[in-house]
Structure 1
Amino acid sequence: MNRRQFLRVAGGAALLGGVGTVGRSVAHPGPFEPLGSVAIDGAKEAVVSADGQTAYVAATTGYAVVDVSTPDRPEVLADRRDLLSDREDGPLRGIYDVKLDGETLVVVGPANPLPGAPSGVLVVDVSDPASPTELDFYETDFPIHNCFAADGRVYLTANDGEGNPLVVLDIASGDELGRWSLVSEDDRWADVRTSLWAIHDVWVRDGVAYIAHWDAGTWIVDVSDPANPAVITAIEPGDPTALADRSRTGLIRAGRTPPGNHHYVATNDDATLLGIGVESWAYEIENEDDTTELVGGPSGVSLWDISTPSDPTKLSTIDPPQSPEPTYGGVWTTAHNFDFHDGRLYTSWYRGGVKRHDITDPSDPVELAWWRDPETASFWTAQYAFPFADEGVFVASSWGVGDEDGALYTFPDHTGEQRNPPTLVSETTTESLVQTATSTPTGTAGDTPTTTGESRTETPGFGLAVGATALGAAGLWYRTRGRD
C-alpha cells in the first residue's frame, strides 16, 4: 500500500444520490477525494486538538500522534506501542479509544475483556505533541471500550458484566468521583444478559452525559455532581421484559439487529441537537417452511432536538449506504462515529466510506459529499479539524481492510462528487437488500444463526462475536480481580 496514497481509483459506475430521503447538493468544482493519508497500524478512534493541527489516534497496541497542519502531507510525530510493558501483566492492549482534555490525552483499554492483562486509564501530557509524556496509570477492574474526557474528569464505560456502570474519575488523582448504573433506574434490566445493555460510548457536555446503552437506548444523565447523578430522560430505552428470556442465539440476533444497538452519541456545539448512531447488521433466520430470510440490516444516524433535554424530539434519520453482504461476516456499511461542526455533520460508515451533510435544517439533512474505497478503507470516525484556505479540513481514521493498513486520511471540507466511485451494490438494485421483521417468527425460527462468514473476532460493538461470552467473562474477571 502506498502510505501517502491520495486516492485509489476503483472501477464501477457512480452510485448517485444518498440512501433514503436525504437530499443532495450541487457539486463543488473538481472531484471530491482525500487530500492525503498516512498509515497507522491498528488505527481505531481519532480525536483532534483544539486548534485542529494535531490528531491523536488509538492504535490497538498503542497510540499515534499525527501532524495534520499540512493536510496533503500528514505526518506521524509520535507512535507509542507496548505501553506499560514493564509491568508483569503488561503491556496495555486492545486500545480502541483516546480522548483529549486540553493538553492531556487519556488512553484506555482493553476495549473487551482480556483476563490477565492490565486494564485502566493511561494519562499522557501532550503539551509537546511530538514528545508525549506518560504521567500516570489508573488501574481498573473492568475493561474500557470507550471514554470521554472533559473539565479534569474522565468518564469510563465500565462494562463489568454486572451493573455496567458509567464511572467518573478525577484525571489528576485517579480518585473515583461517582458512578451511575442503569439498574439503579430500572431494576428489570438486572434480569437481562448484560451483553444487551452494555454502555458502548459516552459523550459529555456542560455536565450532562449522553450514554449509548446498546439495546437499552440512549440515556441522558445530569453528572454535574458525579456523586449524585440524576436521570433527565431516556431515548428509545428498550423493553427489558421482552429481552429477558432470550436464548443464546436469540441474544446474538438481538445484539446485531434493530431495534436498539445505540452505539455512538454526540451533540452539536450548543447541545440543542443530539446525534445517535446505530450499529447493526442483517441476520439470517430460518422460517418454519425451511426458507431463509434476512432481518435487520445496517443502520444510520438519527438527529434529535434536545433543546428541552427532558423532552427530546426525533427530527430525521440519515440512512446508511446499502451493502451487498449486510450480515456481520459481510461488508459493513453501518453507522460508526461522527462529529458536528458549524451546521455540518461528518460521518463514518466502515467500508461505506465517509460523508458530509448540511444539517442547518436538521429535519432535512442534505448530503454534500461522499467518498469510499471499500477494498482499502473501512472508516472508524470522521472529525472536523480546522479551517484551511477557503474551506477547511476534516480527518477520518480507517482500520483497514484485509491486508491493507489502517490509516488516517485528511479530506477537504467542501461539497463534491467522487470521480468514478466504486459501487457498493449492483446498479440494478432499487430496493433494500434486507427485509426488517417487525416480530420474531413463531417456533424456533429467528433463533437459528447463519454460520456463513462469522469468524471475525475483533469487534467494535457488543452483543456480537464477543457478546454474551465476553461480558460473561468480564463478570468473572471482575470478581476474580476483586478477590485478588
Structure 2
Amino acid sequence: MKRTKKSILLGAVLSGVLALSSVPSYSVMAHDELAGDLMEKGEGAGFGKNTTRILEGTLKNLNEIAPEMKVVREDGKQNSFGDVYAHKGFAYVGTHVQNGGNGGVRVFDLKDPSKPKEISVFANNDVPGTWQEKVIVKSVKTQNFKGDLAVVSVQQLDRKNPNSQGGFLIYDVTNPYKPKKLGFWKVTKQTNGTHELYLTVKENRAFVLAANPYADYYSHGEEKDFQIVDVSNPTNPTTIYQFDPRILPEVPEDFDGYNWKSPDSKTRPAFNHSTMVDEKGKYAYVSMWDLGTVIFDISNPAKPIYKGRTTFASDQQGSAHSAALAKGGTVLIETREVYNPTKATYEQSYGYTRIFDIKDKKNPKLLSEYKSELVDDIQDGVTFANTVHDPKVVGNTLYLSHYAGGVRAVDISRPSNPVEVGKYVPLNSDIWGVFVDRNYILASDIGSGLKVLTKKHVDHDRDDD
C-alpha cells in the first residue's frame, strides 16, 4: 500500500566511490580488544584491496554545504577524527589516534554553516599519549558551577606509558573561544580509559556516566566498566556508583569482567562500551556488548535500580554498541557494531540496527531490525566498513553513522517498519558520528573531519507493507 506522509525528511545520496582508505595501523584497541580479532577503526574503512564500490542514488534534499575540514596541529600534522556534538551553534569534534593522538577537541563556529570556522582547541595537551574521541556539552547550573560544561573522554594509546592516564576531562566552555580546564577524573591505569560517556543534569546537580571498557577485568573487580561520577563541582569529580554485572540473575558469580557464560551456553564478551540518559535524567541505557542494552532507573544516581535489558538470538553476535531513544522514550534504538561477520556459530552479517518497544522497561520487545544493503555483503578483509555505528533520533527520523555507508536517514514513524529515506555517502566515506542541530546535520569522518549537511522537509511517498 502506498500512502503520502507529510513533513518527513527525504535524504539523498551523494554518489561516491568507496575505496580502501590509506590509514596507518594503530596499536590502541578501542573496542573488543580481548577478542583477538580486532582491527582498529579506520584500518578497515574500505572494501578490501583493489575493490571499488559505487553506491548510486539521486541527490535530493540533503546537501553537503561546507568545504572539507583540514585541521592541522601546530606541529604540522593532522589527527584522525572521532565523534561530533553541537551546542548553541558550535560544533565540537573529537579526535582519534593518527600521528600520536593528543589532537584534543576542535571547536567550530557554525554561524555560517557553509563556512565553519575553527575557533579553539582544548584537552589536547593535558595527558600525554592519549586521544580524545567523545565530547558532550551541556548547560549546567549547580552550587559550584553555572555555564556550559564539556566532558571529554581520554584514552591511552599505550598503558605502559608511565606519563599516560585514562578517564575524562572537564572543561568550562561557556566562552567556546576560550575553554578553561576544570578537572580530570581518572579510571584505573590498567585499562585504556573512558571510551564513551554521557553528561546529564538533574535537580541542580550534574553527573557523568562513564564507559570504561575492561576496567572490571583488568583491575580484577576493583573498578567497574560502568561508573557514575558526580561532577556538580567540576573541580572535584566524585565516583558515586559502580555497576557489578553479577547482580543480574543471568550473570554467574565467577564472571571475570569479560567472559560471560550466557543462557544460550555460549561464552560471550560482556563489557561496557557506551552510556546515555533520557531527557529527564531518569533512565540510563548502558551498552554492554553481548549482555545487551542494560536499563537502569537513575532517579537516585547513587543507587540505580536495574530494570531490564535487551537480549539476542543464539546465532546473533550481541555487540550492543550505542543507543538512542524515540517516541518520547518509549522506543529504544540499539546499534550493533559487528565487525567480524564470519565468526563461527553466528549469523554471517555485519552489524545492523534493532528497534525495541520499551514501555515496559523490564521487558523490552523487539519491534524490527533495520539493515543497510552493506551488512550482508561479506567481503574478505573488510571489518568496520560495513557495520552500523552510532544512532541519533529527531522526531520520526533516525540518523545513523555507517562508516563506509556514510549517513543513513530512516523513517521510524512506524517503529515496526523502518524505511530508509535517504543516505549521504562522501568519497572514501568513513563516517564515525552524526548529530542533528537546528536545520542541518553534522557528520564526522575519521579521515577528513567535519561534514555539514543541509536538510529539507518535503512530501514523499512511502511504500508500506
- CA distance in 1 between counterparts of 2:151 and 2:384 reads 32
> Residue deviations 1:134-190, cap 9 Å, x none?
111122215211111111100111331244431111112311121212122244174
Following superposition, the deviation at residue 320 of structure 1 comes to 2.7
Q: Which residue of 2 aligns with 1:234?
A: 309
Q: Which residue of 1 aligns with 2:169?
A: 122
- CA distance in 2 between counterparts of 1:199 and 1:209 reads 13
Q: Which residue of 2 aligns with 1:279?
A: 337
Following superposition, the deviation at residue 202 of structure 1 comes to 0.7
> Residue deviations 1:410-469, cap 9 Å, x none?
1122379xxxxxxxxxxxxxxxxxxxxxxxxxxxxxxxxxxxxxxxxxxxxxxxxxxxxx
> Residue deviations 1:166-225, cap 9 Å, x none?
111111231112121212224417446616111010111222111110011111011222
Following superposition, the deviation at residue 285 of structure 1 comes to 7.0
> Residue deviations 1:359-390, cap 9 Å, x none?
122122222211113x522011111111xxxx
SS in 2 for 1:409: strand
User: 2:213 matched to 1:150?
Assistant: no
CA distance 1:30–1:276, change in 2 (3 Å):
closer
- CA distance in 2 between counterparts of 1:274 and 1:232 reads 14
1:71 counterpart letter in structure 2: P
Following superposition, the deviation at residue 79 of structure 1 comes to 2.3
Contact 1:38 1:75 in 2 (8 A): no
Following superposition, the deviation at residue 319 of structure 1 comes to 0.4
User: 2:411 matched to 1:361?
Assistant: no
Equivalences, count: 359
Following superposition, the deviation at residue 283 of structure 1 comes to 4.6
User: 2:409 matched to 1:345?
Assistant: no
Q: Which residue of 2 aligns with 1:94?
A: 131
Q: Which residue of 2 aligns with 1:379?
A: 431
Q: Which residue of 2 aligns with 1:399?
A: 446
Q: Which residue of 2 aligns with 1:180?
A: 243
- CA distance in 2 between counterparts of 1:315 and 1:238 reads 14
User: 2:255 matched to 1:203?
Assistant: no
Contact 2:83 2:434 in 1 (8 A): no
2:307 counterpart letter in structure 1: I
User: 2:83 matched to 1:83?
Assistant: no
CA distance 1:411–1:190, change in 2 (3 Å):
farther
User: 2:152 matched to 1:107?
Assistant: yes
1:277 counterpart letter in structure 2: T
Following superposition, the deviation at residue 330 of structure 1 comes to 4.6
Following superposition, the deviation at residue 30 of structure 1 comes to 4.5
| Aligned-residue identity in percent | 20
CA distance 1:271–1:43, change in 2 (3 Å):
same
Instruction: Find the partner of 2:287 among 212, 217, 237.
Output: 212
1:360 counterpart letter in structure 2: S
User: 2:455 matched to 1:413?
Assistant: yes
Q: Which residue of 2 aligns with 1:306?
A: 358
Contact 1:219 1:237 in 2 (8 A): no
Contact 2:323 2:332 in 1 (8 A): yes
SS in 2 for 1:99: strand
Following superposition, the deviation at residue 312 of structure 1 comes to 2.0
SS in 1 for 2:69: strand
- CA distance in 2 between counterparts of 1:109 and 1:238 reads 34
- CA distance in 1 between counterparts of 2:82 and 2:430 reads 10
* TM-score normalized by the length of structure 1: 0.67
Contact 2:287 2:321 in 1 (8 A): yes
- CA distance in 2 between counterparts of 1:378 and 1:261 reads 20
Q: Which residue of 1 aligns with 2:264?
A: none
Q: Which residue of 1 aligns with 2:49?
A: none
Following superposition, the deviation at residue 331 of structure 1 comes to 6.2
Bigger share in helix:
1
SS in 1 for 2:246: helix
Bigger share in strand:
2
- CA distance in 1 between counterparts of 2:415 and 2:174 reads 37
- CA distance in 2 between counterparts of 1:72 and 1:329 reads 33
CA distance 1:189–1:165, change in 2 (3 Å):
farther
Contact 1:326 1:332 in 2 (8 A): no
CA distance 1:30–1:329, change in 2 (3 Å):
closer
Contact 1:357 1:368 in 2 (8 A): yes
Residues 35-74 of structure 1 aligned to structure 2 (within 5 Å): 35-36=65-66, 37-40=68-71, 41-49=79-87, 51=88, 53-60=89-96, 61=102, 62-74=104-116
Following superposition, the deviation at residue 80 of structure 1 comes to 3.2
SS in 2 for 1:44: strand
- CA distance in 1 between counterparts of 2:309 and 2:343 reads 31
Contact 1:280 1:296 in 2 (8 A): no
1:126 counterpart letter in structure 2: V
1:157 counterpart letter in structure 2: A
Instruction: Find the partner of 1:296 among 330, 336, 348.
Output: 348
2:422 counterpart letter in structure 1: A
- CA distance in 2 between counterparts of 1:238 and 1:192 reads 23
Following superposition, the deviation at residue 295 of structure 1 comes to 5.3
Following superposition, the deviation at residue 329 of structure 1 comes to 4.3
Q: Which residue of 2 aligns with 1:166?
A: 226
Contact 2:61 2:455 in 1 (8 A): no
- CA distance in 1 between counterparts of 2:313 and 2:159 reads 29
Q: Which runs of 5+ in 2 are unaligned?
A: 1-13, 18-51, 72-78, 97-101, 140-147, 260-268, 459-465
SS in 2 for 1:309: coil
Q: Which residue of 1 aligns with 2:326?
A: 268
CA distance 1:331–1:280, change in 2 (3 Å):
closer
What is the root-mean-square deviation in Å for CA atoms of aligned residues?
3.0
- CA distance in 1 between counterparts of 2:339 and 2:420 reads 23
Q: Which runs of 5+ in 1 are unaligned?
A: 1-6, 17-26, 85-89, 240-256, 287-292, 387-391, 401-405, 417-484
User: 2:64 matched to 1:34?
Assistant: yes
- CA distance in 2 between counterparts of 1:189 and 1:259 reads 23
- CA distance in 1 between counterparts of 2:403 and 2:186 reads 31
Following superposition, the deviation at residue 31 of structure 1 comes to 6.6
- CA distance in 1 between counterparts of 2:383 and 2:335 reads 20
CA distance 1:269–1:328, change in 2 (3 Å):
farther
Following superposition, the deviation at residue 124 of structure 1 comes to 0.5
Q: Which residue of 2 aligns with 1:422?
A: none
Contact 1:282 1:326 in 2 (8 A): no
